[in-house]
Structure 1
Amino acid sequence: MTTHSAKNLRSPLSEARGLGSSKYGTEHWWHQRLTAIALVPLTIWFVIAVISHLGADHAQFTAWLKGSPLSAILLILTAGVTFHHAQGGMQVVIEDYVHVEWQKLAGIIAVKFLCYALAAACIFAVLKISFGA
C-alpha cells in the first residue's frame, strides 16, 4: 500500500526534488564564500591605505581620494562587499537562533535594510568626496 493519493502517481522522492533548503542554502553558502574571498585583498588594501594616511588631515585624505579613481573604486567595493557579506552572515545567525517565525522575518528584513542603508551611505560619501561636491 502506498501513502500518496491515487491521483498523484509521482513517488515521494520525485515530489521532494527541487524543494527544501538545498537550493537556497547552497547558493547562500557560495555567496558567503565568494564575498569572504573578495574581502581578503580588499581588506589588505584598506588596512594599507589607512596606515599610509595616519597623521594626514582631512584635506590630504580628500586630495588622495580625488586624485585616485582606483582608490575610490576600491573603497566602494570594500563597503559594498563588506555589508553584503555581513548581511548574509547575520541572516544565517537569525535563521539558526530565532525560532518565532515573525521575529525571524522581521530580523532578516531589518538586517537587510540596515546593511543596504549603511552600504549606500558609504558609497555616497566616497562619491561625494571623489567628485568634490
Structure 2
Amino acid sequence: MSIRTPLAHARGLGTAKDGTHHWWLQRVTSVALVPLVLWFAFSLLSVSHADYEGFQHWLSNPINAGLMIALVLTAFYHANLGMQVIYEDYVQPEWAKYTALLVTQFVLFLLGIIAVVAVLKVALA
C-alpha cells in the first residue's frame, strides 16, 4: 500500500510532449515535398536533352536554384525525421538507438551541405 495518489504514480510515465511537434513536422515536410518533387520532375523533363551548359543556364535562374536547394534541404530533413521514428520504434538497446540517431543526423547533415554546395557551385559557375 502506498500513500501516493494515482496522479503521482502516473507522472513521468506519459509523453514528453514532443511527439505532436515531430508528427506535424513530418506532415509539413511531406506536403512541402509534393510540389517540390513535381517541379523537379517536370524541370528534369524540360532539360533532359540539354548539355551541361544548358543545365547550368537553367540552374543559374534564382528561382530554379532556390527551389532546388529547398527540395534538397526538405528531403534530407524529412529523411532525418523518418529515420528518427524508425530508430525510436525498432532499435532496442538505448546506446544503439542514440548511436544510430547521431550517425544518421551527422551523415544527412553532411550530405545536405554537400548537395547545397553542389547546387550553388553549378548555379554560380
The alignment's TM-score, normalised by the length of structure 1, stands at 0.85
Q: After TM superposition, where is structure 1 displaced by more than 6 Å over at least 4 residues in a row? A: none
Aligned pairs, number? 125
Task: Indicate yes or no: 2:35 matched with 1:41.
Answer: yes
Partner of 1:58: 52
Partner of 1:83: 76
Query: What is the Cα deviation at residue 3 of structure 1?
Result: 3.2
1:92/1:14 CA distance change after superposition, 3 Å? closer
Query: What is the Cα deviation at residue 131 of structure 1?
Result: 1.7
Aligned equivalents of 2:11, 2:90: Cα separation in 1: 29
Cα deviation, 1:79-101, whole Å, max 9, x if unaligned, reads: 00000001100110111110011
Query: What is the Cα deviation at residue 21 of structure 1?
Result: 2.8
Aligned equivalents of 2:72, 2:116: Cα separation in 1: 7
Cα deviation, 1:46-82, whole Å, max 9, x if unaligned, reads: 000111111211111011111x100000000000000
Show the 5 A alignment for 1:110-121.
Answer: 110-121=103-114
The alignment's TM-score, normalised by the length of structure 2, stands at 0.90
Aligned equivalents of 1:20, 1:26: Cα separation in 2: 13
In structure 1, the gaps of 5 or more residues are none
Task: Indicate yes or no: 2:39 matched with 1:31.
Answer: no
Aligned equivalents of 2:122, 2:30: Cα separation in 1: 27
Aligned equivalents of 2:113, 2:72: Cα separation in 1: 9
Aligned residue for 1:49, secondary structure, equals helix
Percent identity reads 40
Cα deviation, 1:111-132, whole Å, max 9, x if unaligned, reads: 1111111111111111112221
Over aligned residues, Cα RMSD in angstroms? 2.0
